[in-house]
Chains A and B, each alone.
Chain A
């Protein structure tokens, strides 16, 4: 594949005991950066509780940037980094795999045909994962650049795709590592080390050729264009208000009348029917009398009706509107609430700086906005008992 138009700035590495340089620094940084970011997303995605989503998302953005970089470097990078240098015909690919299975492998300075298939498959899979991830983030969490455009239901539906492709990624990674080990064994070339040092030991390797000045400047223009378009699109999209969150001004009457005995619940946490039931039964309100004069009660009911869960498309509203059949007026009796808080010790809710499970705002700092973002969850540490 030496027909790529490199003409000047040829960097020749003399065959030295340290080997022939085949992978440029950007490719190697990309590779190990990707390993790190992908590991983080896989661990946080499959193992960590959902409220550590923030880390998952940051690693996901890192993957998106790395993949974008790799696509550009595949067009403008050094010899073996270029896609054109490792596009092989299906026939050649099959021949190569057959050879490997028989324990023989032709020499390739850069990616061999099987490795090349892996590179393209990984790039496609990672691009699918970042795009579906952004759709989920926008739909389900009302966060990120797609928050203003994607309904909750679409976000939820995309989760299964995201998960399926993630399993595909696990499979590809396994295949990639096994393939690398097999090829290393057959060719007596430690391919993993080559990706660290950038050098292959085989003297037949064709050395790296860095892009020349013309290519570099052309690449720079493209990078600037891609960066501006991408960054601009991200900024404009992110500035669009989240479609599922209602902007509302809190009602003073509600806050004072319904906030004396407990935290004044955000209206998005129950559907209209439940609020009506609560307001109709204030004389026996969860075993207590909470009566109000009818004028005040009516104004509160109007407020609750207006901003009940029906008006929202947030994660909390969508999940909590499925109320408990036995206890339809309660938020904490819903199956969703109990599932999401099932792992929290009863003692935690009784801590003096929390008080009860109904005191949402003690742990959810954004409870009043109705967002209930994962990143805003902080369980306060138990207060230190005063020394006596």
Chain B
């Protein structure tokens, strides 16, 4: 009986401390960045990063919101108006599940918007924010 209670408690603890509806795949991706950043991630820092107007990148893409719109819940669009499924994990459940894909797009999008690679902290914050949405 004691062991059952503790199991339930552990499960609840895990559920409530892990961000949003993240499954094991998203956790693996976030943990990958956590190892690199060696810091805790913050959803509010991620949100600020997502909305920030940048100057170092290509003129056509000053912000993540240029394509992903100002709300993670919205369908975004590329510069040629092709729809992009919402970034929020609650809207698009298979988001951030493949590290290779995530890295490819961070690479492209960060270079387009900021003119440089994003740091592991920026990436982790961004993911934490999107997963909480």
List A residues at the B interface (Cβ < 8 Å). 260-263, 283-284, 287-293, 350, 352, 355-356, 358-359
Contacts and interface: CB of A to CB of B under 8 A. Distances in A.
A139 to B, nearest CB: 33
Interface string B102-114: 0010011101100
A290 B58 CA distance: 12
A61 B79 CA distance: 45
| 5 nearest A-B residue pairs (beta carbon) | A355-B81, A356-B80, A289-B111, A261-B78, A289-B108
B51 to A, nearest CB: 20
Contacts of B80: 261-262, 355-356, 358-359
A289 B111 CA distance: 6
A224 B58 CA distance: 71
B38 interface: no
A356 B81 contact: yes
Interface of B is mostly: loop
Contacts of B108: 288-291
Nearest to A351: B81
A352 B61 CA distance: 21
B82 interface: yes
A172 to B, nearest CB: 51
Contacts of B58: 284, 287-289
B111 A261 contact: no
Nearest to A288: B112
Contacts of A261: 78-80, 82
Contacts of B61: 287-288
Interface string B55-81: 000111100000000000000011111
6 contacts: A261-B78, A262-B78, A289-B112, A356-B81, A356-B82, A359-B82
